[in-house]
Amino acid sequence: MKTPKDNTEKLQKVLANLGHGSRREIEALIVAKKISVDGKISTLGDRIDIRTQPKIRINGNLIPVRPKEKDVCRVLAYYKPEGEICSKNDPEGRATVFTNLPKLKNARWINIGRLDINTSGLLLFTTDGELANRLMHPRNEVEREYAVRVFGKVTDQQIFQLKKGIQLEDGPAAFKSIQNQGGQGLNHWFNVVITEGRNREVRRMWEAVGVQVSRLLRVRYGNITLPKRLSRGTWLELDLNSVNYLRGLVGLSVEEKSFLSVDEQKNKSKRIFAKRPSVNFSNKR
């Protein structure tokens, strides 16, 4: 006997796809009993069929439920300056990375990973919660490349330790690669690559071997590089080719539509997508 097709999905996945946060953020809301479906408080493990148009409330507010296939997956490359935080609201009144982003209707920008307040560089945003979740997940080992300026002499032994692996308070960590980019005096630049996005991971790794980081700049996420002509605090929308590169990287289906015109895509694709990025930040940017 043929088993009917199961069209249900986990609640946190559905809400992430609709742009209401990452899976982890939504799971936290479920645990806190702040989400209900058809009047019933949700629990972890609940599954829903979005085609039945269930009434979903977050913090008591009814949210629109639209099938994901009707939405266009958009991705922005943003040049985060130092001094901005990766939260929408801050009790201390500090500037956030969301302030300068374009406004959306019936959707929201989701940051793909975070950069701490003292770190600048490439920060990606998307309207697709599932894409954001997969790109951030450690199992997918998406590369993040940083230009790091350190203060003082770095020995071969310290480099060896960072490549072999060191023990941090939240587990072992290692740089996938380290490239010496030169420098002057006591200031020296390195390009390093990691495949996780743990809190302050790059800084903590250097500190673990006794090296002080004086500047940190993310220059690449996957094969998407920080556009050279992008000014701090400004954004650029990725073309369809780059969006589908990111989707393919984590096993998602191809997107067929873009908010960019054909001419805009031709102009932008050369600025943000590089199969073999080579970034040198030995000089100040």
List C-alpha distances in Å: 43 to 12, 79, 241. Answer: 10, 38, 38
Residue 168 lies in a domain: yes
Residue 23 lies in a domain: yes
Residue 164: what are its φ and ψ, rounded to 5°?
-75, -40
Question: pLDDT digits over 201-252, tens only?
Answer: 999 999 999 999 999 999 999 999 998 889 999 999 999 999 999 999 999 9
Shared domain for 193 and 174, answered yes or no, is yes
Q: How confident is the model at residue 17 (pLDDT cuts 50, 70, 90)?
A: confident
Residue 187 lies in a domain: yes
State the DSSP code for 18: T
Per-residue pLDDT at 269: 47
Stretch 168-193: mean pLDDT, rounded? 92
Positive or negative, the CA dihedral 96, 87, 119, 125 is negative
Where is pLDDT greater, at 177 or 275? 177
Per-residue pLDDT at 89: 81
- Which position has the token pair 């982890």? 24
pLDDT at 4 exceeding the cut of 80: no
- Which residues are within 8 A (CB) of 180 and not within 5 positions of it... i.e. 6 or more apart? 188, 189, 190
**Range with the poorest average pLDDT among 28-32, 221-225, 226-230, 269-273:** 269-273
Per-residue pLDDT at 38: 93
Looking at residue 145, its amino acid is E
Residue 4 lies in a domain: no
Domain residue limits at 209? 143-221
Shared domain for 206 and 244, answered yes or no, is no
Pairing of strands 177-184, 235-237: unpaired
pLDDT at 263 exceeding the cut of 70: no
pTM of full prediction above 0.85: no
Q: Residues with catalytic annotation?
A: 116
Neighbour count for residue 88 (Cβ, 10 Å): 12
Under 8 Å between Cβ of 136 and 125: no
Question: pLDDT digits over 55-104, tens only?
Answer: 999 999 998 876 544 578 999 999 999 999 998 888 888 999 999 999 98
Shared domain for 159 and 195, answered yes or no, is yes
Per-residue pLDDT at 285: 39
Residue 278 lies in a domain: no
CATH number at residue 155: 3.30.2350.10
Per-residue pLDDT at 37: 94
Instruction: Provide the mean pLDDT of the chain.
Output: 86
